Amino acid sequence: MIQVQTEEGVLSTFDRETLLSWYRQMILIRRVEEEAAAAYQRGHIGGFLHLYIGEEAVAVGALNALRPDDNVVVHYRDHGHALARGLPARAVMAELFGKATGCSRGKGGSMHLADATKRFWGGYAIVGGQMALAAGIALADQYAGHDRLTICFFGDGATNNGYFLESMNLAAVWKLPVIWVCENNAYGMGTAVERASAVTEIYRKACAYDTPAERINGQDVLEVYAAVRRAADYVRAGHGPYFVEAVTYRYRGHSMGDPERYRSKDEVEEWARQDPIERFKRFLIEEGVPLEILESIHAEVEEEVQDAVRFAAESPPPPAEALWEDVYANPPADDPFLLPPEVAALP
Amino acid sequence: MAEITYREAVRRALVEEMRRDERVFIMGEEVGVWGGTYAVTRGLLDEFGEKRVRDTPISELVIAGAAVGAAMNGLRPVAEIMTVNFALLSLDAIVNHAAKVHYMFGGQFHCPMVLRTTAGWGQLSATHSQTFENYFAHVPGLKVIMPGTPKDAYGLLKSAIRDPDPVVFIEHTHLYRVRGEVPDEEFTLPIGRSEIKRPGRDVTVVAYSRMLQEALRAADELAKEGIECEVVDIPTLRPLDLEPIIRSFQKTYRAVLATEQWLGYGLDAEIAAQIYEHAFDYLDAPIRRVTARPVPLPYSRELEQMALPGKEEIKQAVLDVLR
């Protein structure tokens, strides 16, 4: 058993296996992202690819503080959250490859991973849009009398548009069971927080909605876990939403092909010295976890990631019929717009 | 069979569906305490309470977006946006979320929501008098309904609420007082069906919403002059039931398309293109379109009347295609 100390005292006691599973998730996320970047360079992944490298502690700390039946709603930098939620690396990688075996059957891609069976409601790619959906998902549970809560992730950039205001306000007015997690990674695409937001400590915006908020070190998985546990206790007790600003940093560009003119190499290196995985590794070693156990985790993850890449590469693309499937759940039989012209021809 | 107003028909559909299915709830601006800006939801708060008749802040984006989330997670939201002009503020939630969540996640989620809103005008000037059904009807994944009679409003709203897909349901403020026969026993009408509302042999007139009523009046008057219009109503704009339009055109060889949309890239243009594609050989005269003048609607009563289409323009267009 490992006791985790905070400034307030003992946070919690964990068995070693639990903490090692978090470590494993963080490694898995990083390795999946590195392999995704490589696959992108080889042309196996198209479109936009937003990597979560550097931010792993946020998703892992937060999602491990919740119940498996709580709802997760994410922005488009969603690979880490998907993996931390337990989506198989195979299903994630296959989706990046645009394959039929992907978690969204090759229809969504990097920005739209989802798994309904895990109440992982998906990654959304219109900045802030997922906040309104999260309010609605939480409303449905409140309405039905469930004690599930909804955690919604968004970036610092999302806090400057209308979705943020309207969703934060509605959630507070209706006391919806939502944990808002702002992943403040210092830039909205290439625009620094201080150039885009009148308030640079994002958590202060929550006071406009009378929502309790705190700002935490998003590079410390234990601190993230502790904050989201506090949030979950508050929200599940029926008090309404809670806001967590996790200060973090992405090492890679906004997406692949970002020239990164907006920041210096020194800055990236400075953040890399506070790497969330290294930090957690030091903690585990100090707590007496033998190095060889950590190394065996790395080896295991390596196998899983290589297997995922192989699986994605070998999987078939979606069949041609998939193009027309799922536009509607209840499709009209004779919609002239949904039929190829030769079929739509009337007698 | 009772003759009731369009407003009463919409209200009856809402009440019956809420009684039938606990998952159905209403959210929107002034739907509760006020009773609805157009008095459609009057009395619902008393019967169903605040949980199911939810007044919202003036936040069109989250009204629509939260409806998407609630629908995905098992409810049957009927979100009201006061007028379709304000629905522009909801557009992202409707187009990028409601219309997408089923397809983009490979069919894992459903979005059984209805977004009720209104078209209409009445010296409300430029930003409160528009009609944007084509914006929504353009989008794969959405269903768009714009009923022109109380019976259709009732039967189609009930179907919309039960449908597993997102439906944009546009009422017309000028129709709320229109009376029509609605059977007393409960029924639904299928989404995606066009209907010949008046048979005729000479000219096919395609219309919907308020312009359906104008077209029927025009047809009555023209009948006295011996001209028989076949009025085809398209209460569902997407999915479009094309067959009754084409069949009618293959009989009359002439068509007039009537809409309150501006001239230019409207619903009428799509219908015309479909007729050309499917029945080109039957064409005896160029298709005529009756539309609003493409100007922002002016306040002055005189100018406003000049800008909007109605019965007289339809009659003239029918005479033109017969010439």
Q: What's domain B195-322's architecture? A: 3-Layer(aba) Sandwich (3.40)
Confirm whether B2-182 and B195-322 share one CATH topology: yes
| Confidence band of A332 (pLDDT split at 50, 70, 90) | confident
CB atoms under 10 Å from CB of B33, counted, come to: 9
pLDDT, position A7? 59
- Overall average pLDDT of the B166-176 stretch: 98
The answer to whether A77 touches A249, Cβ cutoff 8 Å, is no
**Concatenated DSSP letters for B77-128?**
EEEE-S-TTGGGGGHHIIIIIITTHHHHTTT------EEEEEE--SS--TTS
pLDDT, position A10? 65
Q: Is B172 a catalytic residue?
A: no
Reduced to 3 states (helix: H, G, I; strand: E, B; else coil), residue A271 is helix
Domain boundaries, chain B: 2-182, 195-322
pLDDT, position A2? 78
- What pLDDT, in 10s, does the model give residues B237-274? 999 999 999 999 999 999 999 999 999 999 999 999 99
| Confidence band of A13 (pLDDT split at 50, 70, 90) | confident
The answer to whether B156 touches B167, Cβ cutoff 8 Å, is no
The answer to whether A244 touches A216, Cβ cutoff 8 Å, is yes
For chain A, give the mean pLDDT.
94
Q: Do B59 and A169 touch (CB under 8 A)?
A: yes
The answer to whether B317 touches B204, Cβ cutoff 8 Å, is no
Q: Is B138 a catalytic residue?
A: no
Residue A328 has pLDDT above 70, yes or no: yes
Q: Do B109 and A328 touch (CB under 8 A)?
A: no
CATH of B2-182, one of 2.60.120.10, 3.40.50.300, 3.30.70.100, 3.40.50.970: 3.40.50.970
pLDDT, position A288? 95
Sign for the pseudo-dihedral over CA of A340, B165, B259, B215 = positive
For chain B, give the mean pLDDT.
97
Residue A347 has pLDDT above 80, yes or no: no
- Overall average pLDDT of the A29-37 stretch: 98
pLDDT, position B316? 98
State whether CATH 3.40.50.970 applies to domain A2-314. Answer: yes
Nearest to A210 by CA among A170, A262, A182: A170
User: CA dist A220 to A23, A24, A81, Å?
Assistant: 12, 15, 16
- Distance from C-alpha of B168 to C-alpha of B28, rounded to nearest angstrom: 14
Using the Cβ of B71 and the Cβ atoms of chain A, whether some distance falls under 8 Å is answered with yes
- Distance from C-alpha of A190 to C-alpha of B238, rounded to nearest angstrom: 40
Angle between helix A56-63 and A221-236 (nearest 10): 40
pLDDT, position A337? 80
pLDDT, position B216? 98
Q: Looking at CA atoms only, how far is residue A161 from chain B in angstroms?
A: 11
Chain A residue numbers with beta carbons less than 8 Å from the beta carbon of B108 are 104, 114-116
Q: Do B66 and A129 touch (CB under 8 A)?
A: no
pLDDT, position A257? 86
pLDDT, position A131? 98
Residue A342 has pLDDT above 60, yes or no: no
Q: Looking at CA atoms only, how far is residue B22 from chain A in angstroms?
A: 10
- Distance from C-alpha of B160 to C-alpha of B146, rounded to nearest angstrom: 11
Residue B279 has pLDDT above 90, yes or no: yes
Distant-in-sequence, close-in-space partners of A269: CB < 8 Å, separation ≥ 6: none
Q: Residue A70's Cα: distance from chain center in Å?
A: 14
pLDDT, position A341? 56
Nearest to B125 by CA among B308, B255, B271, B256: B308
Percent of chain B residues topping a pLDDT of 90: 99
B8, B17, B29, B60: the active-site residue: B60
Domain boundaries, chain A: 2-314
Q: Which residue has the tokens 């806001």?
A: A243
Percent of chain B residues topping a pLDDT of 70: 100
- Distance from C-alpha of A24 to C-alpha of A32, rounded to nearest angstrom: 12
pLDDT, position A336? 80
